[in-house]
Amino acid sequence: MGCEEMLPPYRDGSPLDAPLELAPLPSSREWVGRIAYLDRDGVLNVGSEEYVNAPEEVVLLPGADTALGRLRRAGFRICVVTNQSPIGRGLWGHENLASIHRRLRSILQSGDDDAALDLILYSPYAPWDGSWARKPNPGMLEAGRQLLDFANSNPGSKSRFLYGREWLDRPDESTSVLVGDRHADMGAAESHGVRGIRCDSSLGLASVVDSILGDGNE
């Protein structure tokens, strides 16, 4: 399976394989490999069937900032994985999405200093493109794991990627989680081998963070 066939994910603000610089976790906590993969709309911010089309349309769901901060304080890296077919449909482009994400990052951290997003990956493809990156396929999760692992162990270096059947030596994902509000999110979680938690799109991350942190490791 080559990248030309699988249509890989895009990375917010940088080429996919560019070095990823990770900010320290709160209290300089050591990262032990746990990732919270988060859908965007209906998890962090209010979604719309007509899409979130501009920065001023970004509205946080109640408590999303604090919930995100709690995850990072518990030692999770945060990787947003979001389908963004308006780009593939020709409604608007990558720079518009980047401006939406700048607004999202800003309002999250204005509510909780620790509510940083370590990585945002997105699939710009339309549903009919058959992309491996578009959920329910697991391409964004696969790329996110490899980017975060590589940034942790080889800071300043470009990442290398394997997908699908090409990726044989996979790390254990039993301590990671994916939170989403749609069936496609749960499909991606199952395909990637990570625990999937479906939330109510009107309540988002704050409604499920206790179940993620229920082991007391906060």
pLDDT tens for each residue of 126-140: 999 999 999 999 999
Tens digits of residue pLDDT in 146-180: 999 999 998 888 888 999 999 999 999 999 999 99
Residue 198 and residue 180 in contact, taking contact as beta carbons nearer than 8 Å: yes
Domains belonging to the chain, first-starting first, are: 3-21+31-212 (3.40.50.1000)
- Give the global pTM: 0.95
Q: Which residues contact 106 (CB under 8 A, 6 or more apart)?
A: none
Helix (H) / strand (E) containing 82: strand 77-83
Q: Kindly calculate the radius of gyration of the chain based on its CA atoms and give it in whole angstroms.
A: 16
Assign 214 a pLDDT band (cuts: 50, 70, 90): confident
Q: Which residues contact 135 (CB under 8 A, 6 or more apart)?
A: 39, 81, 83, 123, 180, 182, 184, 185, 187, 188
CA angle 50, 54, 55 (to 5 degrees): 130
Would strands 10-11 and 119-123 be described as parallel, antiparallel, or unpaired? antiparallel
Residue 122 and residue 82 in contact, taking contact as beta carbons nearer than 8 Å: yes
Give the full edge-to-edge strand order of the sheet including 10-11: 10-11, 119-123, 77-83, 35-38, 177-180, 195-198
Assign 5 a pLDDT band (cuts: 50, 70, 90): low
Peptide bond into 136 cis (omega under 30): yes
Catalytic residue, from 12, 39, 118, 185: name it: 39
pLDDT score, position 168: 92
Does 208 score more than 80 pLDDT? Answer: yes
CA distances from 131 to 1, 12, 100, 106, 125 (A): 12, 18, 23, 30, 7
Answer yes or no: 41 catalytic: yes
DSSP secondary structure string, 97-139? HHHHHHHHHHHHHHH-TT---SEEEEE---GGG--TTSTTS-H
Residue 149 phi, psi dihedral angles, 5° rounding? -60, -45
pLDDT score, position 216: 45
Residue 166 in tokens: 């090409």
Rounded Cα gap, residues 145 and 152, in angstroms: 11
Catalytic residue, from 41, 112, 118, 181: name it: 41
Does 215 score more than 60 pLDDT? Answer: no
Average pLDDT over residues 19-29: 94
CA angle 186, 22, 151 (to 5 degrees): 80
